[in-house]
Homo-oligomer: A and B are copies of this chain.
Amino acid sequence: MPLDVDAIRSDFPILSRKVSGGKDLVYLDNAATTQKPQSVIDAMTSYYEQSNANVHRAVHTLAAEATEMYENARNTLADWFGTTRDNLIFTSGTTEAINLVAWGWARSNLKSGDAVIITEMEHHADIVPWQLLAEEKGIEIRVIPINTEKDILDMDIFEASLPGAKLVCVVHTSNVLGVANPIPEIINMAKDAGSKVLIDAAQAAPHHRLNFSNLGADFVAISGHKMCGPTGIGCLLATSECIEQMEPFMSGGDMIETVTMEKSTFASGPQKFEAGTPKIAEAIGFAAAAEYLSKLDMDEVHHHIRGLAKLTAEKIKSVQGITVYGDHSVDEGSGVVSFLHDSIHAEDLARFMDAGGFAMRTGHHCAQPLLDAYGVSSTNRVSFYLYNTEDEANAFVDHLRYVVEKFGG
């Protein structure tokens, strides 16, 4: 059964906003962050209005309620991501999740000369932490280039790079191209070569129901705000084996077992990496987002989002002067379409589109090396989500055509 997009739209209060002199908002910047359904906003409001208290280690009613809500949020999310509460560490987002792997796991488990594989398709969040670690520890970074003809990773180079690699870090779905990488194949090859695997699922989690157990990765990094959840929260999924290998990163309250002035001992499991007062309302909101998505058929969600991207890519390709980046002929991939006009500056184009009510992003999308590979320094990017409609996609194409006709001469 196809998605009831009208019903979905009515769940998102912001979608009735007007912008740019009374125009309907057409929000096409979902790869940057998605909007939030009322149920997510309400979950947080109701937490603050009814049950707010610091969690853990207190017996009073509010603290018990808050703890229950917070820990149930962990259960809900673990369940949604196909894992257990003992394998889910709350972070502030994908960036912190990857940093936690770098600082908490790689720093103590890799040594000088060990190799970490990353790809040219990565977001800065999956590049810079490895560069800093490499500099500090003398770790070798091997980069898998992208084949810019086919918009895919060079799997031959990947295979050749595997011997001696201790960690493979790869983005599930590119935030610039919308292209999905062959993740099962990558994980299998890496595992066969004895390497751990970290998947950046920031763009994949919003429209796939990831199953951590089935996936077979060692680490998966996710942002809540890109999948209907609040800002300031995300999670790292990690195998029990890896969690046990990890050293404390952030330290302080709640992650300890005992503290004396001489020495401290640490909690086990996820809690060891969750120092300080947790992101309580955020965890509750994130779980409400998973609950919201759980009521939908995620295959349909994917189909819908990807369909809009394919449609849009196909149509704008024929607009004079427009180049589309990324292969949009395949069904895998996300709702992202990057493009450029050959004479209208990307920023001007974005402003003209905004003037028509269309919210899209322009820039390097925190993926400078990928753009370098394509020989550009920025792209225009639209990215669809479950509440976008075919009418919106068509209106976008029409307005783009109008702008190009007017200014593309």
Interface residues on chain A, number (Cβ under 8 Å): 93
Task: Tell me whether A351 and B59 are in contact in the complex, defined as CB-CB below 8 angstroms, given that A259-B368, A277-B231, A278-B231 are known contacts.
Answer: yes
A316–B281 alpha-carbon span in the complex (Å) = 35
Taken together as a complex, chains A and B put the C-alpha atoms of A93 and B253 apart, in Å, by 12
Are A359 and B62 in contact, with the CB atoms below 8 A?
Answer: yes
Chain B residue numbers with a CB within 8 Å of A109 are none
* Interface 9-mer from A50-58, A79-87, A180-188, A293-301: A50-58
Instruction: Bits for A15-59, please: 1 = Cβ < 8 Å to B, else 0.
Output: 001011000010101001101100011001100111111100111
Residues of B within 8 A of A258 (CB): 368
Closest residue of B by beta carbon distance from A381: B58
Tell me if A275 and B99 are in contact (CB < 8 A): yes
* Bound-state Cα–Cα, A53 to B372, Å: 26
Closest to A247 in B: B132
Whether B60 lies near A350 (C-beta < 8 A) is: yes
- CA–CA, A354 to B62, complex, Å? 9
Q: Across the interface, do A127 and B248 meet the contact criterion of CB distance under 8 Å?
A: no
**Distance of A368 Cα from B261 Cα, bound (Å):** 9
CA distance A99 to B255 in the complex (A): 13
- Could you tell me the distance between the alpha carbons of A58 and B143 in the complex, rounded to whole angstroms? 29
Chain B residues with Cβ below 8 Å from A369 are 259-261
Residue on B nearest A278 in the bound complex, by CB? B231
For the complex, give the distance between the alpha carbons of A51 and B17 in Å: 9
Quick check: is A157 within 8 A (CB to CB) of the other chain? no
- Residue of A58, A250, A354 with most partner-chain B CB within 10 A: A250
A275 touches B125 (CB 8 A): yes
Complex CA–CA separation, A129 to B253 (angstroms): 10
The winner among A230, A276, A366 for most chain B CB atoms within 10 A is: A276
Asked if A120 is at the interface of the complex by the 8 Å CB criterion, the answer is yes
Main SS of the interface on chain A? mixed
State the Cβ distance, A36 to closest chain B Cβ, in Å: 5
A263 within 8 A of B: yes
Chain A positions 228-242 with a Cβ under 8 Å from a chain B Cβ = 230-233
Q: Is the CB of A41 within 8 A of B32?
A: no
Nearest-neighbour CB distance to chain B for A96, whole angstroms, equals 6
The answer to whether A230 and B60 have CB atoms under 8 Å apart is no
- Interface positions, chain A 96-131, Cβ under 8 Å from B, are 96, 98-99, 103, 120, 123-129, 131
CB-CB < 8 A to A256: which residues of B? 124, 128
- Please give me the residue from chain B that is nearest to A145 by CB atom: B261
- Are A253 and B125 in contact (CB-based, < 8 A)? yes
A41 touches B48 (CB 8 A): yes
Chain B residues whose CB sits within 8 angstroms of the CB of A50 once the complex forms? 14, 17
Picked from B14, B53, B129, B251, the residue with its CB within 8 Å of the CB of A33 is B53
With an 8 A cutoff between CB atoms, is A76 at the interface? no
Complex contact A252–B124 (CB within 8 A): yes
Q: Do A259 and B363 touch across chains, with their CB atoms under 8 A apart?
A: no
Given contacts A233-B232, A275-B95, contact A359 B33 (CB under 8 A): no
Please state if A52 and B127 are interface contacts (CB–CB under 8 Å).
Answer: no
Q: Which residues of chain B are within 8 angstroms of A252 by Cβ–Cβ distance? A: 95, 98-99, 123-126, 128-129, 366
What separation, in Å, do the CA atoms of A259 and B234 have in the docked complex? 24
User: A residues 292-338 with Cβ under 8 Å of B?
Assistant: none
| CB-based contact A282/B232 at 8 Å | yes
Pairs across A and B, CB under 8 Å, 23 listed: A14-B52, A33-B54, A36-B52, A40-B48, A41-B45, A54-B225, A58-B350, A58-B362, A58-B363, A61-B359, A63-B359, A63-B361, A95-B250, A95-B277, A99-B275, A125-B253, A128-B248, A128-B259, A129-B252, A231-B280, A232-B233, A260-B368, A260-B372
Instruction: Give me 5 other A-B pairs in contact (C-beta within 8 A), A32-B277, A95-B276 excluded.
Output: A92-B276, A99-B250, A120-B261, A129-B252, A232-B233
